[in-house]
Each structure stands twice: as structure tokens, then as C-alpha cells.
Amino acid sequence: MHHTVSEQTHTGQIPTNTSNKLTGRREHNRTRTRIQRESLLLFDVDRHIELTKKELASLEQQRTELDRSITRQKRRMKHVNNVPSKVLRVIFYHCREDQSALCALLRVCRQWRAAALRIPRLWRRLMIRPHSVSHPEGVAGLDIWLARSGTLPLRISVEAGDYDEVQFSSAEQFITRLKLHLHRWQYFSVGTTDEKLALLILSRCKGPAPLLESLVVHVHVQDAELPSTTDDISRSELLRDVLEPAPMLRQVQVTNLALPIGFPIDRRPPSGLDSARRSTSNHLILPWLRRLSSLDLVAAITPSDEGGQYSKTQRLLDTLRSSPHLTRLALKDCGWQSYTDALPVITLDHLHTLELRNAESLVFLRHLDLPTLRFLDITSRRTTHAPVTKICYNAFRSMLLTSPPPLRLLKIESVHFLNIDAPTLVAQLPLLESFAVYSSSQKTIKGTPIVTELLRLLAAPLPSPALPHWPRLTAFAAALVELPGLVVLRFFLSRILPRQAAIPSVKVFGCIFSHDEAEHFRMLTRMCRNYRAGRSEAFQEPNLNFFSYVG
């Protein structure tokens, strides 16, 4: 049985199209509403995320800045980074002569590096070894070092070591770099084992050096008497116009490099010389010798000519005649080769310090008039005591007896003098303030050590109100000879321990003593302590017993 559509609809057996459409439309509306609502929520979430990201980035930046600040403050709290600038300058000052130490300080921290680079005077000292500047990196480093020194005067030392001329040619470009700053040179030193190389380096330094004050040339050899390998003509050509003009040059030290100097200008050169050599020898190749105030010559005078007419002594005297303003002179192995009685006497009116570093140099005392000499150092730096020949001994004794200089300090080391007695020294050197003798062979005529005789004489009382011998004496030192304890005790009682203002007091005393005399020196130490006269100590060791006193 068939029902009508209206009946089916009424009974609910089948849905109608209208009902379906209504239901779908409602679901669609609800879904769209939900989407819109959730889209708004999503937009809000995205916006919140963006704000949060920006805030997080800001927080992260703030955290980074705070972390850096804390790190900087922690670094500043460290001792290395907290050093005041004035203290840094003191540290740098003590490292200024050691290039490796100075470079190491640059790597401590940025603060130290910046501080060091702001001080140009730290970079005015250069110690150059040719092998370190034989490649482009080394030359670039030299240029940087020179630039850091600004415009300050330079102190340059070239240590060529055992380089020869061939090896040096590969590194010669550094001399060109240095010569660009020749106008700033204040000190220049050359050290090598090859005399020819020393001459070669000097020959590259031609030109004006207006600030140069000191020149040092040291050829390291085992035997200072090795024969010269270059003649005077070659030396003259190499050294002509070297460091000229140098108006400020006052100090020169030359060791084992024979200089082509010394032939007198006002006398004919040896007949054995040819015309070229004769014209060269009659001039001073180094004009700055005339302006020097300090001169050190060690094996620095060329040997005599072939005819033997000009000895080393004569050449040296002629050189000194050309240096009238010397205030200090040191000689060693400049020796004499012939009898020198006929040589003239040279007067050095301004010389106050004379160092004779080998016994044979005493011969120059025969030919030097030294009216202002204050300090005389006679030393023979050898392993054995050097006996002084008769002519040298007579030179020293003649100076004491005929024209004694107003010495203030006399030092004698490892040189043997015969028949020099204590009364002669005391009488001829009345102004002496310091006396030092380091030699066990200083004997008097009676065979007594001269130091012992001197102490006895100085301790001897004189009739009042006469002053004691050597009234200005403030320092007395002796070594290599053991002094008797009783003699030293008397000397202390006479010259050190008294408190009277009228009696001059010795402030420094030193000597050695034997084991048998140890008790006397212990007693002397106790006496000094009781008198509160100064600090005294007696050292006893297996091989040496030494007593020292400082007032």
C-alpha cells in the first residue's frame, strides 16, 4: 500500500530536502563562526609570540651586556689588569733593555699592550742580530720597532757574532733601514768576531750623526795580539767620513780593532811609507777624536811601520795629543815596542780617570802629564800575576816622586811592584780617599806585604794636633793577602772606632784573614757592636775568611 509524500514526511520515515538544507546551513554557520573565533585567537597568540620574541631578544641582549660587564669587572679585579699606569711604566722601564721581555709584556693583556705602545721611549733601544733580519719578516719587524720609537734618539747594538762578510751580505739591508734614522742615533755598538766585518759595518755608517754620543766597537778574539789583516790604507778608505760630522760624540770604546790613527801631523812619516800611504797617514781619519771626553782602547793601535821607527807608544801619544779634552782614558794591550825615552810628554789637563788594564801600559806614565788626575786603576786581568818590567816600574815610581797627581782613588789589582814602600805612597799621595789592592805579591823592601805596612803606618799616632796620614781616607780594601789581626785591631782603634770629630773616620773596610787570626776578628766584630760604630761581619768558609765593615 502506497502512502503519499505528505504522510511519509509526517510520519518521519524519510527526510525532506528542505530539512537537510536547513541542517547543513546551521552546521556551516557554526563552523564558520568557530573558525572566525579561533582565527582571532590565533592572531592574538601570534601577536603575543612576536611580542615575547622581541622581549626575549631584548632580555638576551641585556644578559649579554651584563655578562660582558661582569667579565670586565672580574678582569679588573685581577692583579695583572688592576696595575696603575705609573706602576706599569716602572715595570716597562726595567724591561726596556731586554727586547724579548718587552715583547712578552705586550702579550699579557690588552691594557698592557696599549700602555706599552703609548710609551715611545721603550722602543728606542734595538739589539740586532743579522740572522734575525735576513728575511722580509725580520725587516718588517725592524721597521715596526723603529716606528714605535717615534722621533726619540736611538740606542742601537749590532751583534754580528761569528758572521763573516759573505753571510753578512744577505742581511745587509738592515743597515740601510738603520741609516735612514742616522740623524737619531745616540748610541751605536758593533760586536763581532771578524775584524773585517767590523770595518765593513762601520763603513756603511757614513754620514752626519748629530745626536751620536757614544760609539763602541768590540771584536771578540781569543788573543788580543793577533796581527792585523788590513793595512792602514785600506782602513783609511773604509773609515773615511764614518759618522761625520758627529758634534756630540764624546765616548768611544774600541777593542781589538786597530785604528789607522796616530802618525803626527807636524812630523814626517816613516821613510818606508810610499807617497800614498804618507799622504793618508798625515791626517786623522776620525776627526771626532778631537772632541772626545772618554776613550777606551784595547789592542786598538796598529803595529809599527816596517822600518820600526814608529812604535805603538808613539802612535798612541800622537792620538792623545789630538784629544786634548779627554776626562777618562782606558788602555790595554796598546803596548810599547821600543825604548821610548826620546818620545815627548803629552799634557792632558782635563783627565781625571786613567785605567791601565795591563802592566805594560804603565810605560805611558813616563809620557803623560796629568795635573788633574783623580782616579788611577792599574789592573792586569790575567790568571797569573804579571811581573812589571823595570822600565814600567820606574815609570810609576817616577810619577810618584817627580810629579804626583792629586789622586783621590788608587786601585791596584794583580800587578807586582818592586821596592814601592808605604811611606812613599803616603807622602806622595796625601789627598787619597780610597785605596784598594788586590794582589798577594805586593812586597816591600823588607819582604812585608805593602798592605800590612800601610795599615801600621796609618794606625801610628802622630803628635797632636797633627792629622794622621791620609786624613781623608774613607775606604780601604785588600784581598789575596791575609792581614794580621793585631794590625787590623790597631788600625780600627786609631781610625774607625774613636768618636772624636777631629779624627777622620774610615767608613768602608774589607780584608781577608787566616784561620789562626779568626779570634782577633771575632773580637773586632764585638768591639764594633759595642761601640755602635757600624756594621761588621766576619765570614769563615773553608777556602776564604773575609772581614767587612761599613760605617
Q: Which own/partner contact pairs does 462-467 have at CB distance under 8 Å and 24+ positions apart?
A: 465/502, 467/504
Residue 267 confidence (pLDDT): 42
Q: 773580637: which residue's cell?
A: 523
Residue 106 CB partners (closer than 8 Å, separation 6+): 112, 113, 116, 117
Query: For residue 227, is the peptide bond before it cis, meaning its omega torsion is within 30 degrees of 0?
Result: no
Three cell numbers, residue 68:
660582558
Half-sphere exposure of 357 (CA within 13 A, CB side): 13
d(C-alpha 263, C-alpha 129), whole Å: 35
Length of the chain: 551
Q: DSSP states of 151-179 as a string?
A: TS-EEEEEEEET--HHHHHTTTHHHHHHH
d(C-alpha 81, C-alpha 31), whole Å: 69
Q: What are the residues facing 477 on neighbouring strands?
A: 436, 510
* Domain boundaries along the sequence of the chain: 80-123, 125-344, 422-428+444-551
Q: SS3 for 543?
A: coil
Q: Which segments of the chain have a pLDDT < 50?
A: 1-2, 5, 8-10, 224-227, 264-283, 306-309, 383-386
At position 98, the amino acid (one-letter code) is D
Residue 95 CB partners (closer than 8 Å, separation 6+): 101, 102, 105, 122
Q: What are the residues facing 294 on neighbouring strands?
A: 251, 328
Residue 333 confidence (pLDDT): 77
Assign residue 335 a region: left if phi > 0, alpha if psi is -120 to 50, beta otherwise? left
At position 524, the amino acid (one-letter code) is L
Residue 154 confidence (pLDDT): 92
Model pLDDT for residues 154-168, shown as the tens digit of each residue? 999 988 888 777 777
> In angstroms, how far is the first alpha carbon of the chain from the final one?
152
Strand pairing of 545-550 and 409-413? unpaired
Residue 385 confidence (pLDDT): 47
Distance set, CA 119 to CA 96, 147, 187, 357, 468 (Å): 11, 12, 20, 40, 55
Residue 418 confidence (pLDDT): 57
Residue 373 confidence (pLDDT): 92
